[in-house]
Amino acid sequence: MTVTDDRPSAVLGTRLLRREDPALLTGEAKYTNDLDLPGALHLAVLRSPYAHARIVSVDLSAAQASPGVVAVYSGADLAGEWASPMPSAWAVTADMKNPAHYPLASSKVCYVGDGVACVLATSDVAARDALELIDVRYEPLPAVVDLEDALSDRVVIHDELSTNSSYTWDLKIEGTEGQVEQAFADAAFTVKERYVQQRLIPMAMEPRAVAAVPQPFGGDMVLYSATQIPHILKVMTALTLGIPEHQMRVIAPSVGGGFGSKLDVYAEELLCVALARKHRVPVRWNEERGEGTVATTHGRGQIQHVELAADADGKLTAVRIRLLADMGGYQQLITAGIPILGAFLYAGVYDLPQAYDFSCTGVYTTLTPTDAYRGAGRPEATYAIERAMDALADQMGIDPMDLRKRNFIRKEQFPYTAFTGLVYDSGDHLAAAEMAAEMADYDGTRARQKAQNVPGAKKLLGIGQASYFEMCGLAPSRVLASLNYSAGGWEAATVRILPTNKVQVVTGTAPHGQGHETAWSMIVADKLGIAPGDVDVLHSDTALAPLGLDTYGSRSLPVGGVAIAIACDKVIDKAKKIAAHQLEANEDDLDFTGGAFTVKGSPDRTMPLAAIAFEAFTAHNLPDGLEPNLEAQVTYDPPNFSWPFGTHICTVEVDTETGQVDVLQYVAVDDCGVQVNPLIVEGQVHGGVIQGLAQALYEEAAYDTDGNLKNASLAEYLVPAASDVPPITLGHTVTPSPTNQLGVKGIGEAGTIGAAPAVINAVVDALSGLGVTDVPMPASPHNVWKAIQAATNNSQGASK
């Protein structure tokens, strides 16, 4: 018998269109706010208009009498609902100071947007109407908006801590005492810069939304939420509310983007569950954009002091970093750890000896809490080193590309044990930089720049580069343990072959735009020799996919995807036992290709997986002792982070009279190892680049001195539109990761990490002839114009 198998066996690496799209394109997909929940009450939260104030009194009576209102609660009224304060999962130091934080404040508010009371009503409109009738008396206290002011403890925000400093975390490398100081003393060149990572509002297009559906007599509770982390949320909700974990089920329906802002356990999630439990009816809440800008976590918010030492050739000899990181009014889920995620990357992609001194102090301010935002710590680190490298090149009078080439870790040094002890898996930075330079016509642009940037020129040309490492795929559990993170970094997968040879994959990842259903089906199709369309991917529901650690930190493919590949291997191993039994052959003599087992050297002795699947189901003729059915579960703890890398080159023209920056060209060369689906990879890079470019040119959560967010809506906060951004030219190199069988690395954050420094380096490069050495982010026309004026005035002052 000859079996012809024409099913695809190599879908990996193809531009397979996304299976997610038809539902999303037709309105069929259901986001949390789309769920039809008969009888649900609507929650609305009254938020503090003060950045810092004592709550003197809360009068709920008028609101209680408002039409449609079922109940109104102050923070004090709900104190009995919480088994513990809101979770903070990352105590970065043993002595970290972290104030107790509850879903509603009862004695003091610590940022504009802090919840003080809530209404339950029969409609969203009725609930929001009633908010206006709640009378809260406040005793305003001074706001703390500036990080250095916060550090001074002029005003202490949390009385019980007696300081605004939450922690100081140092990266000390044993046995290297004195080396940094010596390197600076011996240096031919040193650079000392101060950079500010402005606060950013993540602005996922879907605002947050929550619905809690109780089963009053059965005791179960289902929480629907627009979250990136259904699994973590389940554990944290159970703990915070004292609900037995097995009675909590969390479902993330379609989720409209997250970028880190939905990697959290929020007050509204806890309130909905608490009130659904209390009232025995479903309770739902949907965020208005205007409240989301203050009530959803912000990103970045750092002051960076960066020092580099280099020898006469420009070879880096030491790096010293002092960070001040803005926690906001409280810590959310992993607030404290965000700057620490960047702590290992301040030497960038360069071959640095063991002379590294890093310290970060986290301080409280009276602003919206910060937490993860696309890249989380790593864009900040990359910005600092890549801006400082340009400063060093400027000081040495050499081309920044040349300086980088002198310092890159070379291809043959991989796997590279860094000064921190971390092992960088694979890379070829020179190749990526050279490819980007060629695509961007780097040398030609330099020549044009020389011709264009003459004294008196109105429009100046600039070219900027950033070379980066992503350090992602969070993460080896033991490394997370060493950082005092409260969870592991594994991921779970189950692969189940159904009787008719269709496949169910259960994953612990929780996609919210990344196309996991498509990508995971490709991995399985490739492994099992079946069509991707025969694979169903179950996810984002803790009852269907009970084990998982969710989606963030570019971890889904290098951890979750690899777990699926390993589960496929286990299923194939079991199927092979059945095939060997039925073909009367040794397992060792069987090949598995194209979805069928064949006896080596006897192509006619073959058995397709479809036949084995049915045999495994009927269990009529299985080897002795073998369990029926084909299913394997795997929990995979990665041995290392994955280290994607690349070089981005941005070309800009700056109008010296208006300060307007026009991006003429943006080239991104990224290497994420083996690409499962280049279509999806490209999309991730495009989006990431524009988010990084938006930090560089447009976005900033701007506060007044009283702690009011001045741009608390999408009308004022500049998320760029299509007309504000350039097309992106992509290239890629492929350097497989040796640490996993697929050779893959993450790609979700790479674009964002590379973009901000590339853009700002280009802007500063354009203006360098005027004496400008730095432009703060965002490089808005006003900020650029001010930088030009300051430099021009300086040089005029100097010439007098």
Partner 1 sequence: MKISVTVNGVVHESDVEPRTLLVHYVREVVGLTGTNIGCDTSSCGACSVHVNGEAVKSCTMLAVQADGQSITTIEGMATDGVLHPMQQAFMENHGLQCGYCTPGMVMAATSLLKENPNPTEEEVRLGLEGNLCRCTGYHNIVKSVLAAAAGQ
- Which residues contact partner 1 (rule: CB under 8 A)? 17-18, 20-31, 33-34, 36, 125, 203-207, 254-257, 259, 288-290, 512-515, 679-680, 682-683, 686-691, 713-715, 719, 721-725, 727-728, 751
Closer Cβ to partner 1, 128 or 448, answer by number: 128
Closer Cβ to partner 1, 30 or 137, answer by number: 30
CA pair distance 465, 566, nearest whole angstrom: 38
Q: Which residue has the tokens 């994607």?
A: 644
Q: Tell me the closest approach of the beta carbon of residue 550 to partner 1, in angstroms.
A: 16
Q: Tell me the closest approach of the beta carbon of residue 285 to partner 1, in angstroms.
A: 14
Closer Cβ to partner 1, 108 or 648, answer by number: 648
Q: Are 794 and 713 in contact (CB under 8 A)?
A: no
Closer Cβ to partner 1, 476 or 754, answer by number: 754
Closer Cβ to partner 1, 122 or 768, answer by number: 122
DSSP codes of every residue in 510-557: --SSS-HHHHHHHHHHHHHTS-GGGEEEE-SBTTTS-S---S-TT-II
Q: Are 569 and 527 in contact (CB under 8 A)?
A: yes
Backbone angles phi, psi at 708, to 5 degrees: -90, 130
DSSP codes of every residue in 167-199: EEEEE--TT-TTHHHHHHHH-SEEEEEEEEEEE
Q: Tell me the closest approach of the beta carbon of residue 55 to partner 1, in angstroms.
A: 26
Q: Are 346 and 381 in contact (CB under 8 A)?
A: yes
CA pair distance 105, 97, nearest whole angstrom: 18
Q: Tell me the closest approach of the beta carbon of residue 10 to partner 1, in angstroms.
A: 21
Q: Tell me the closest approach of the beta carbon of residue 24 to partner 1, in angstroms.
A: 3
Closer Cβ to partner 1, 21 or 186, answer by number: 21
Q: Tell me the closest approach of the beta carbon of residue 648 to partner 1, in angstroms.
A: 13
CA pair distance 479, 371, nearest whole angstrom: 20
Residue type for position 220: D
Q: Tell me the closest approach of the beta carbon of residue 729 to partner 1, in angstroms.
A: 10
**Residues paired with residue 286 on neighbouring β-strands, in sequence order:** 209
Q: Tell me the closest approach of the beta carbon of residue 601 to partner 1, in angstroms.
A: 44
Closer Cβ to partner 1, 204 or 775, answer by number: 204
Closer Cβ to partner 1, 255 or 436, answer by number: 255
Q: Tell me the closest approach of the beta carbon of residue 484 to partner 1, in angstroms.
A: 32
SS (H, E, C) 438-473: HHCCHHHHHHHHHHHCCCCCCEEEEEEEEEEECCEC
Closer Cβ to partner 1, 147 or 680, answer by number: 680
Tokens of 658: 């208006």
* Burial class of residue 373, CB neighbours in 10 A (0-12, 13-18, 19+): buried
Q: Tell me the closest approach of the beta carbon of residue 119 to partner 1, in angstroms.
A: 18
Tokens of 709: 């967010």
- Could you give the angle at which helices 678-697 and 750-767 cross, rounded to 10 degrees? 40
Closer Cβ to partner 1, 479 or 652, answer by number: 652
Q: Tell me the closest approach of the beta carbon of residue 722 to partner 1, in angstroms.
A: 4
Instruction: List CB contacts of 713: < 8 A, sequence separation 6 or more.
Output: 289, 290, 293
What residue spans of 598-668 are helical by DSSP H?
Answer: 609-618
CA pair distance 369, 362, nearest whole angstrom: 12
* Burial class of residue 171, CB neighbours in 10 A (0-12, 13-18, 19+): middle
Closer Cβ to partner 1, 288 or 402, answer by number: 288
CA pair distance 621, 605, nearest whole angstrom: 18
Closer Cβ to partner 1, 205 or 734, answer by number: 205
Q: Tell me the closest approach of the beta carbon of residue 730 to partner 1, in angstroms.
A: 9
Say how many C-beta atoms besides its own lie within 10 A of residue 125's C-beta. Answer: 12
CA pair distance 324, 360, nearest whole angstrom: 6
